[in-house]
């Protein structure tokens, strides 16, 4: 009997707030199940021209460094039908030689997946990109990870990583809705 008294309020709390699944926040919405997946800090970082992989934020600079993000997909069932997905990236600093900075994004296999355009006004805020098709491909491919790389066309940008190592509180995440 005592278990029922505790379980009732606990179940209500889960229903109202969602549940956390190792770096993911899952809750039911009117348009399906929505999951927010935070990137894996240990796999986030950037590689410089010497091939050294660094984990103190993510610097993406033309001809100098490439940025990497990795998101675990275990919170999305393999049979799920993805209706939409967005990648949110926290911007720390923008170093644009022109009015804006353009970063190209590539999915795990090197497939072009879209571009971000950064402005000085984006500093200390999120930018986002629709990654629905790329996430569907990742789920159908390896299923375990959604991995992307970022390359600058011009200038440089310093982005937050999954460990909030720059202290912005703007950790990268993927928000996906599925049925």
- pLDDT for the residue 98: 84
Kindly report, residue by residue over 58-95, the tens digit of the pLDDT: 999 999 999 999 999 999 988 899 999 999 999 999 99
Bridge partners, residue 45, by sequence: 68
Q: Pairing mode, if any, of strands 82-95 and 173-178? A: antiparallel
How many DSSP H helices and E strands does the chain contain?
Answer: 2, 14
CA distance 119 to 67: 18
* Per-residue pLDDT band at 25 (split at 50, 70, 90): low
Whether the CA torsion 67, 72, 76, 78 is positive or negative: it is: positive
- pLDDT for the residue 30: 74
Kindly report, residue by residue over 137-161, the tens digit of the pLDDT: 888 876 688 999 999 999 999 999 9
State the Cα angle at 61 between 57 and 63, rounded to 5°.
135
Residues 6+ apart with CB under 8 A from 158: 57, 58, 59, 91, 92, 93, 94, 95, 166
CA distance 44 to 35: 20
Kindly report, residue by residue over 125-138, the tens digit of the pLDDT: 999 999 999 999 88
Q: Does residue 7 have a pLDDT over 70?
A: no
Q: Does residue 37 have a pLDDT over 50?
A: yes
164-177 burial string, b = 16+ CB within 10 Å, else e? Answer: bbbebebbbbbbbb
- Prediction pTM value: 0.82
68 vs 12 pLDDT, higher one: 68
Q: What are phi and psi of 31, to 5 degrees?
A: -100, 20
């Amino acid at each position: 009997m005592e278990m029922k008294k505790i379980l009732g309020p606990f179940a209500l709390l889960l229903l109202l707030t969602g549940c956390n699944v190792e770096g993911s926040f899952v809750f039911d919405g009117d348009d399906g199940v929505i999951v927010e997946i935070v990137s894996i800090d240990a796999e986030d970082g950037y590689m410089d021209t010497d091939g050294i992989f660094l984990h103190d934020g993510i610097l993406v600079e033309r001809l100098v460094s490439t940025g990497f993000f990795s998101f675990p997909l275990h919170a999305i069932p393999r049979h799920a039908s993805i209706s939409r997905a967005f990648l949110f990236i926290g911007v720390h600093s923008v170093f644009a030689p022109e009015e804006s900075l353009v970063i190209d994004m590539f999915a795990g296999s090197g497939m072009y997946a879209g571009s971000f355009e950064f402005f000085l006004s984006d500093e200390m805020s999120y930018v986002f990109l629709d990654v629905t098709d790329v996430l569907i491909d990742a789920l159908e491919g390896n299923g375990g990870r959604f991995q992307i790389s970022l390359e600058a066309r011009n200038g440089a940008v310093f982005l937050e990583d999954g460990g909030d190592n720059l202290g912005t509180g703007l950790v990268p995440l993927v928000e996906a809705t599925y049925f």
